[in-house]
């Protein structure tokens, strides 16, 4: 009937706009996806091949505003520690698990706050094995407070704005421009580690291939 065709013709622009409107409506009500999903986990992968240097460009916000964070990192090697080596580095490993030492080389500006980082190993199934910080009295070279900066010269902390004046100054030497860290991560015996993950601010993380 011409009536029906008339209807289609009269409403053609509205119909064309309908899918656009639908997408816009979904997008408008999905602001929580960013907060509760994207920023609440590791979703922005920056991958690097085995043995390659990777330069990470990210931002961070502290008491003094937003700054750039540029770090270069390379996975040198991962090695399972023998019982003798375990005794030497004074790491305890429960039965059914083993200790993997991760050797990383990093380069960054000595003024860049980097101590608040997290390190993990990830296997082919996507299971993540985190580096676990030791308790206050249990810090060793193999279990440092921070897995990505040297224990004696960790470098600056992120600014706390006006609180900086109240805190006592860090009198340690500045961090060198390039350094190596060797934290130890405990994983179950049957884990097949695929990648080393390093991150400062979710969702951005660096994934370094193990093989």
Q: How far is the CB of 93 from other proteins (least distance, A)?
A: 7
Pairing relation of β-strands 97-107 and 178-181?
Answer: antiparallel
Q: Is residue 187 at the binding interface for other proteins, with CB under 8 A as the rule? A: yes
How far apart CA 99 and CA 184 sit, in angstroms, is 6
Interface region with other proteins, contact rule CB under 8 A, candidates 27-35, 60-68, 160-168, 184-192:
184-192
Q: Which is nearer to other proteins, 42 or 112 (CB)?
A: 42
Tokens of 7: 């209807």
DSSP string over 165-178: GTSPPP-SPPPPSE
Q: Is residue 78 at the binding interface for other proteins, with CB under 8 A as the rule? A: no
Q: What is the DSSP letter of 35?
A: I
Q: Write out the binding residues for other proteins, residues 119-138 only, by CB under 8 A.
A: 126-130, 132
Q: Taking the chain, what is the end-to-end CA distance rounded to the nearest angstrom? A: 68
Q: How far is the CB of 184 from other proteins (least distance, A)?
A: 11
Q: How far is the CB of 31 from other proteins (least distance, A)?
A: 19
Q: Is residue 93 at the binding interface for other proteins, with CB under 8 A as the rule? A: yes
Exactly one of 59, 180, 188, 192 binds other proteins (CB under 8 A); that residue is 188
How far apart CA 11 and CA 181 sit, in angstroms, is 66
Q: What is the DSSP letter of 50?
A: T
Q: How far is the CB of 32 from other proteins (least distance, A)?
A: 15
Helix (H/G/I), strand (E/B), else coil: 40: helix
**Residue ranges binding other proteins (CB under 8 A):** 82-84, 86-87, 90-98, 126-130, 132, 186-191
């Amino acid at each position: 009937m011409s009536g029906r065709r008339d209807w289609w013709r009269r409403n053609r622009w509205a119909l064309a706009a309908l899918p656009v409107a639908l997408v816009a409506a979904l997008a408008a009500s999905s602001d929580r996806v960013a907060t509760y999903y994207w920023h609440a986990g590791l979703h922005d992968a920056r991958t690097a091949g085995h043995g390659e240097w990777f330069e990470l460009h990210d931002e961070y916000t502290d008491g003094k505003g937003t700054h750039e964070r540029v770090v270069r990192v390379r996975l040198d090697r991962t090695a399972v520690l023998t019982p003798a080596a375990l005794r030497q580095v004074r790491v305890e490993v429960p039965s059914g698990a083993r200790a993997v030492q991760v050797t990383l080389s990093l380069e960054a500006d000595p003024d860049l706050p980097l101590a608040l980082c997290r390190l993990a190993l990830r296997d082919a199934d996507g299971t993540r094995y985190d580096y676990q910080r030791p308790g206050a009295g249990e810090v060793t070279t193999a279990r440092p407070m921070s897995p990505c900066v040297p224990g004696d010269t960790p470098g600056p902390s992120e600014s706390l704005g006006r609180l900086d004046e109240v805190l006592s100054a860090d009198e340690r030497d500045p961090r060198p421009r390039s350094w190596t860290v060797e934290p130890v991560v405990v994983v179950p015996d049957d884990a097949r580690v695929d990648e080393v993950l390093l991150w400062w601010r979710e969702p951005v993380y660096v994934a370094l291939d193990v093989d």
